[in-house]
Structure 1
Amino acid sequence: WQPKGRYFDGTDDYIVLPANWMPSTGTIEMWVKFDLALSHHLFSSDDNEVSIYNSAGTNILFYYDGAARITSVPDWATNTFVHLVITYARNTTGYIYTNGTELGNGAIPDTAVTNVATRLGESSSGANDYTGTMGEVRIYNRALTPLEIQHNYLATKWRYR
């Protein structure tokens, strides 16, 4: 660990979350700083049932039920902390936010994702390891509102400047 979070070296660093954590409606919130503009898994469960993937710095993708459901173009540079938030709910719309602002949205299917083992910083297959720092990862069992996301960003951004 370091003062602003956990450093991932891009080769063998990851954190395992327990299975059966995945709510049908939720929010995944984290502060991240990419060292390189490479393809990285920030958050990945078995078979990409749920996954957050940075595609070489050109797209952020949120996978749900094994398929990309939300794609957006990131609005940040490497070596800069960003507050990244994904909200989702089955059979409705999911959203990607950075620094309190919506970047993209997409349809989430009415499919339950259960009993999935999840890793922070690496895909479930062990590929596309994250290179950078990750701090303050929060997982909620409800979709935060845009106002709550903005509040969390403003309340914590001082730590990452």
Structure 2
Amino acid sequence: MQRLLRAPTWAIGLLAGAPFGIMIAITIKVSGDTMPAALIGGGAAGLLMGVALAFGTRTPRRDLRQALAPLPVADWKAARTAAWRGPVPTRTDIRATALDLVDLRLRNLRRARPWMTVVFGLNLAIAVLNIVVGNRFGVLLAVLWTAGLIEQWHSPRRFRRRRQLLATD
């Protein structure tokens, strides 16, 4: 994780886009299209995915680096772990950084939660319609989208409890 946070944007794009493009190319080829069509389609999809993820993760990666900046790189993992689970660290610098990470996560959730709830809710409705039509695959999708909705409602509570635990002496 430390390497990904400090990696250049082009490397993130390559790491995300290449496997995605390869999977799309294989899918296109298996579906019966020609090899040039698979290569062009996979390359285009990989390029789009890589560019989207590279530039879409710049701000979150920057925010994480800023929150972790007070600590040496060797302690980043301890702070990230403390922000999510486990015992409260005894070192005050790790505890303070973990608290900053929890606050950052809560801010990000507050901003994204309404949109994610709408997206998950609409996809759940589509999955239910697929079940009604007779598509058995819709059951799996409905379960996954329901789990996503439950996580959207549960995450802020979990992070507020973790924040409270980290803030107490």
TM-score normalized by the length of structure 1: 0.26
Larger helix share, 1 or 2: 2
**RCO (CA 8 Å, sep 6+): is it higher in 1 or 2?**
1
More strand by share: 1
